[in-house]
Amino acid sequence: MRSRAIREGSVGLLTLLGLSLFGMVAFWVQGLRLDNTGYQIRVEFPDASGMQPGTPVRYRGVKVGRVLDIKPTSNQVEVRLEITSSTLVIPRDVMIRSSQSGLLSENFVDIIPNQALSEEMKDENPLSSDCPETIICNDVLLSGESGVSLERLIASMVEFSELYTSPELFKNLNQAAERTALAADEVSKLSTKMTELVAVARTELGSVSNSVDQGIGSFSTELNSISATLQDSTNQVTRATIESANSVQRAANEVSTISNEVQILIASNRSTLANTLKNIEQITGELSVTAASISPLLNQIEQGSLLTNLEVLSSNAAEASENLLDLSKAVNDPQTLILLQQTLDSARTTLQNVEKITSDVDDLIGDPKVRQNLREIINGLGNILAYSDQLEQQTKLAKTLAPLSEVLEDTEAIALERDLSKLEEKPFPDKPKIVRQTQ
């Protein structure tokens, strides 16, 4: 009986031990803990991406919890995450991503913070009722995103293979290569033409700049003469101010007008005339205290040719500036550039034709027989010209002698008629008789 009780007791203990072991295994498989001091988070994902209850949750690459439950909804998937330690404080500004890694496609959920947590927030409790909004509290709802997965990788590879094997892709690549080659040829031609055009434009602009420099030099010479004349006038005015004391305001106004005109004239030209402007300002300051006796001198100046020269010079400067503006506009005009390019093209064509003609002439004249024939032709033409001069002289002489020959013929005819008439008037003598002697 005692051994039987021991056996039955041992069987009962083994049964209890097996049941307890089975319960512990079940708890371990389900991830249940007796000291459950963590907190939970609800996260909405676009899809589950292979997640299931028990999938590990990582924070900064370290496992801190697991997936408790997955609840599909109409538009998204709500996943409940458990953080095992309530002392782990996570900032609210985080990126939650479901990903897969390894050849076996191990799923996990990564919690990646976007900013560091301050020292004050580290002591907060996610389970407290007054949990701040700067950290992740218990049962808070957040949004997540799907990360890298094997399914997406396979789909991307399939799309890439379909795109790579598409004949339209090769056709487009061939067309792009051909267009690139044509574009490169056109760019090279355009660069060559632009180089030639820039060279021609540089030459033209060099001549224009030379002419402009010459005009500015002549203009500066005129301004120097004007400044010398103004200096002489200031000396005269200074001497006159000592002797005069009336009409100060009127003279000052007139001289200030002259100074303003001179300033406008100088401002439209080179900046090297600053000294002249300073002298004119000094003159206007000195003329502000002139006397009444300055009016005769001003009348003399007005009657002189100074103002006329200033007006002519200002008009010439205005015309020169307008011409420079027109020239700059003409140079910057796209039509002018096109005309220059066309002119260069026509000049290039003309030069090519001239080269062809010269090559043909060289081929023709380079033959010694042709040269000898040309020499003979030239010599023959020279002889013909010499004979033509002699023929012209003989023709002139024949024209001169023609009347004389007619007079001589008339004179000979008259003399012959006279001789015949004389012969007819004279009797013929008897013929002598011939006696034959006989032996």
DSSP 284-340: HHHHTT--TTHHHHHHHHHHSSHHHHHHHHHHHHHHHHHHHHHHHHHHH-HHHHHHH
Distances (CA, A) of 271 to 142, 322, 361: 71, 19, 58
45 - beta bridge partners?
77
Q: What distance in Å separates the CA atoms of residue 305 and residue 303, rounded to the nearest whole number?
A: 7
Burial (CB count within 10 angstroms: exposed 0-12, middle 13-18, buried 19+), residue 229:
middle
The contacts of residue 298 (CB under 8 Å, 6+ apart) are 251, 254
Question: Pick from 118, 150, 182: which residue ends a domain?
Answer: 150
Quote the domain boundaries for residue 230: 204-334
Question: Pick from 128, 150, 172: which residue ends a domain?
Answer: 150
Total number of domains constituting the chain: 2
Report if residue 41 sits inside a domain.
Answer: yes
Q: How high is the pLDDT of residue 365?
A: 65
Report if residue 194 sits inside a domain.
Answer: no
Is beta strand 140-146 parallel, antiparallel or unpaired with respect to 39-45?
parallel
Report if residue 87 sits inside a domain.
Answer: yes
The contacts of residue 140 (CB under 8 Å, 6+ apart) are 41, 42, 92
The contacts of residue 84 (CB under 8 Å, 6+ apart) are 33, 37, 38, 64, 65, 66
Report if residue 141 sits inside a domain.
Answer: yes
Q: Are residues 40 and 137 both part of a single domain?
A: yes
Report if residue 368 sits inside a domain.
Answer: no
Q: Are 197 and 344 in contact (CB under 8 A)?
A: yes
Report if residue 72 sits inside a domain.
Answer: yes
Q: What distance in Å separates the CA atoms of residue 383 and residue 356, rounded to the nearest whole number?
A: 34
Q: Helices H, strands E: what count in the chain?
A: 9, 7
Q: Are residues 68 and 138 both part of a single domain?
A: yes
Report if residue 208 sits inside a domain.
Answer: yes
Q: What SS3 class is residue 11?
A: helix
Place of tokens 């339209």: 168
Q: Are residues 126 and 211 both part of a single domain?
A: no
Q: How high is the pLDDT of residue 224?
A: 63
Report if residue 129 sits inside a domain.
Answer: yes
Is beta strand 94-101 parallel, antiparallel or unpaired with respect to 106-113?
antiparallel
Q: Are residues 132 and 209 both part of a single domain?
A: no
User: What is the residue type of 233?
Assistant: S
Q: Return the closest-CA partner of residue 269 out of 231, 217, 230, 227.
A: 217
Give the CA dihedral 10, 14, 16, 20, nearest 10 degrees: 150
Query: In this structure, which long-range contacts are made by residues 165-171, counting pairs with CB atoms below 8 Å and at least 24 apart in sequence?
Result: none
pTM of the model as a whole: 0.35
Provide the residue-wise pLDDT of the chain in tens; the chain has 439 residues.
567 777 777 878 888 888 888 888 776 666 555 555 788 999 999 988 888 898 999 999 899 999 999 999 888 999 999 999 888 899 999 999 988 876 666 888 999 999 888 888 888 888 888 888 889 999 899 999 887 777 777 777 778 777 767 777 767 777 777 888 787 777 777 777 777 777 776 676 666 566 656 666 665 566 566 656 656 655 665 565 565 544 545 645 555 565 555 556 555 655 555 666 666 666 666 656 554 555 655 565 555 555 666 667 667 767 776 776 776 666 667 777 777 777 778 778 887 887 777 776 666 666 677 777 777 777 777 777 666 666 677 677 666 666 666 666 666 667 666 666 666 555 545 444 444 443 3
Phi and psi at residue 145, to the nearest 5°: -140, 155
Q: How high is the pLDDT of residue 96?
A: 92
